[in-house]
Chains A and B, each alone.
Chain A
Amino acid sequence: MKTNYRYSFLILSIILLFCFFTNISLGSVSIPIKDVFNSLIGVSTSNESWQYIVQNYRLPKAFTAILVGSGLGISGLMMQTLFRNPLAGPFVLGITSGASLGVALIIMGASIFGGALAGLLISKWSIVIAASLGSFLVLLAVLIVSSRVRDTMAILIIGLMFGSITAAVVSVLSYFSSAEQLQQYIFWGFGSLGNLSWSELLIFFIIYCFGIVLSIISTKGLNTLLLGENYAKSLGLNIKKSRLLIIIATSLLAGTITAFAGPIAFIGLAIPHLTRQIFNTSNHKILLPAVFLFGAIVMLICDSIAQLPTSDYTLPINAITSLIGAPVIIWLLVRKRKMIF
């Protein structure tokens, strides 16, 4: 059966490579393609600063885009299967708002709770930890509450409610913060792929890998869950263990991504649906790598657009993903009768 998909995977990988190089070739400074490739392989280029831009700015940014797109896609896929809801995703279920709350507490709350600590706390690492912790706690809360209601729509609403609560807390915090802190938080909310140095990217990559490994381990459980929890149980699946595994994987992926790149909207929801439309399967052994490729491709494209090539401006990445993501959701709802889930 897998041979049918081998072709599609090959094509997707080629597209991914193409998008990767296109993404690196484009930017506010126009660099000839030849020089881009030269700086990639380390050959000296006609302009020293070009080499610096490609190696220390564009390359980490492109890798970040791949990690963000694939990670959000995969966590969205897992949430949709776990919650038996095609509209689930890290964003809808409040993981991202949890991360926002964590970050808001660190950026803006520090001055309220302990003035002296404020400066020390706002390092990249404290933001990462706060975002991960926030997303994990909110997802756990959603899960605990949703274990009491069986209705999947109720779960979705509970997730949205938690989102509202965190948004309210963030508002209260913003009210008491300085303009500078507020700006820092709002800029974090725009999302950004280009802020990471190689060493930060490495840490990001390591945590991301943990999340991916856990997702791969969850594959069998996710496939069993396609039958519903009672059948899954009768097939010997330890529901509680699998559920926890999926949650940890999702919060590692979505939490770190939100921490390093800000709350990127819609990718987690839209990519799994796009993938299902094209691959026409529910088997996670196929979907997981396919979502990985699609997520990475779409994120690279979004980032290329956000760069506004050859102009000095960079649009917030979050706006671009929503501009692409929202029409996808509308399109899915319109053709709902054929929706694959």
Chain B
Amino acid sequence: MNTNNKHIILKTKNLTIGYSAKKVQTVVASNINIELHKGELIGLVGANGIGKSTLLRTLTNVQSSLSGEIFINSKFLSQFNNIELAKTLSLVLTEQITSKNLSVFELVALGRQPYTNWIGNLSKNDIEIIIQSIKQTNIEGLKNKKCFELSDGQLQKVMIARALAQDTDLIILDEPTTHLDMYHKAYILKLLQKLVKDTNKTILFSSHEIDLAIQLCDKLIVMVKDSTVIDTPKNHIKQGTFNLLFPKDLIVFDENSAAFKIK
């Protein structure tokens, strides 16, 4: 129970997420109460269409919540201005970057934008942080390559380095392992685990790699119909949460191997 003493980075209180259009509210998930602490790797799992993306979009202020509160570093999310939020929260999205003609160094350097002056000149300190981020993500060999020369796995590492260079307490990644092979899926998630240890940042990612997430994450947010629970993977297994994730006709969760099996 010592996690309770840790600094809370993100907290939601009775959060309801969804869409509202023309006064009609479509609730995707409600009654979400989660706390993310400093230096934790948190996975967000759930079936397709359960609202993972909506939750991430709401937590990152891309879309507004229907009701409830979100606090980042004990401050209302809505009270952050653009730059403050950019210095607290960085993102790795599923979308492709527009210009792949950027070199890896230039792309990672763009992570320093919230800190640079009006024209975007990099200070010595900025360059140090960029080089450090490149080192921490093991992409030194790619530094001078153009983004269009990279494989999907390499590009994902570069995007993570960019988020790292933004130097925020919280990094949120939306499905960082899609399009990757099994090795690179494990590699990216392992890298995230290492970064949490090295930098003491909080990293939240959504993923469909439930078995990998169980092995690597400190906490898991499991989204099932009508409830969103955050707990350690062990407790989730104990309480049988994973069995609620999917319809039971095809796959079942095997507690001994902590993985899904074909029925």
Residue from A236, A238, A280, A341 with most neighbouring chain B CB atoms (10 Å): A236
Closest beta carbon of chain B to A233's beta carbon, Å: 8
Encode A223-235 as 1/0 by CB contact (under 8 A) with B. Answer: 1111110110111
Which residues does chain B contribute within 8 Å of A225, judged by CB atoms? 98
The answer, among B62, B83, B85, B106, for a CB contact under 8 Å with A230, is B62
Task: Give the number of residues in B that approach A within 8 Å (Cβ atoms).
Answer: 31
The answer, among A228, A276, A340, for a CB contact under 8 Å with B96, is A228
Contact yes or no, B82 A236, CB < 8 A: yes
With A84-B98, A216-B119, A236-B86 known to touch, is A224 a contact of B113 (CB < 8 Å)? yes
Closest beta carbon of chain A to B125's beta carbon, Å: 17
Encode A269-291 as 1/0 by CB contact (under 8 A) with B. Answer: 00000001000111101000000
A228 CA / B162 CA spacing, docked (Å): 14
Which residues does chain A contribute within 8 Å of B98, judged by CB atoms? 84, 225-228
A233 CA / B82 CA spacing, docked (Å): 8
Which residues does chain A contribute within 8 Å of B99, judged by CB atoms? 81, 226-227, 282, 341
A234 (CB) vs chain B CBs: closest residue? B91
The answer, among B60, B62, B87, B93, for a CB contact under 8 Å with A236, is B87
> Is B207 in the interface zone, CB < 8 Å from A?
no
Residues in B64-86 with C-beta less than 8 Å from chain A:
82-86
The answer, among B90, B118, B120, for a CB contact under 8 Å with A234, is B90
Contact yes or no, A235 B102, CB < 8 A: no
Residues in B105-131 with C-beta less than 8 Å from chain A:
106-107, 110-111, 113-114, 116, 118-120
Contact yes or no, A223 B120, CB < 8 A: yes
Contact yes or no, A220 B86, CB < 8 A: no
Encode A206-230 as 1/0 by CB contact (under 8 A) with B. Answer: 0000000000110110011111101
Contact yes or no, A236 B119, CB < 8 A: no
> Is A237 in the interface zone, CB < 8 Å from B?
yes
> Is B215 in the interface zone, CB < 8 Å from A?
no
Task: Give the number of residues in A that approach B within 8 Å (Cβ atoms).
Answer: 28
Contact yes or no, A217 B102, CB < 8 A: no
A224 (CB) vs chain B CBs: closest residue? B113
The answer, among A217, A234, A235, A282, for a CB contact under 8 Å with B60, is A234
A230 CA / B255 CA spacing, docked (Å): 39
Residues in B183-210 with C-beta less than 8 Å from chain A:
none
A280 (CB) vs chain B CBs: closest residue? B101
Which residues does chain A contribute within 8 Å of B84, judged by CB atoms? 236
The answer, among B86, B96, B101, B118, for a CB contact under 8 Å with A235, is B86
> Is B166 in the interface zone, CB < 8 Å from A?
yes
Closest beta carbon of chain B to A341's beta carbon, Å: 6
Which residues does chain A contribute within 8 Å of B90, judged by CB atoms? 234
A341 CA / B114 CA spacing, docked (Å): 24
The answer, among A224, A226, A236, A281, for a CB contact under 8 Å with B85, is A236
Contact yes or no, A219 B113, CB < 8 A: no
Which residues does chain A contribute within 8 Å of B101, judged by CB atoms? 276, 280-282, 340-341
Which residues does chain A contribute within 8 Å of B60, judged by CB atoms? 234
Write 7 A-B pairs (CB below 8 A) sorted by A numbering.
Answer: A220-B120, A225-B98, A235-B111, A238-B82, A281-B106, A283-B102, A285-B120
Residues of B within 8 A of A (CB): 60, 62, 82-87, 89-91, 93, 95-99, 101-103, 106-107, 110-111, 113-114, 116, 118-120, 166
Q: Which 4 A-B pairs have the closest CB atoms?
A: A236-B86, A220-B120, A226-B99, A236-B83
Known: A219-B120, A234-B86, A235-B114. 6 other contacts (CB 8 A): A220-B113, A226-B97, A227-B107, A227-B110, A230-B91, A234-B89
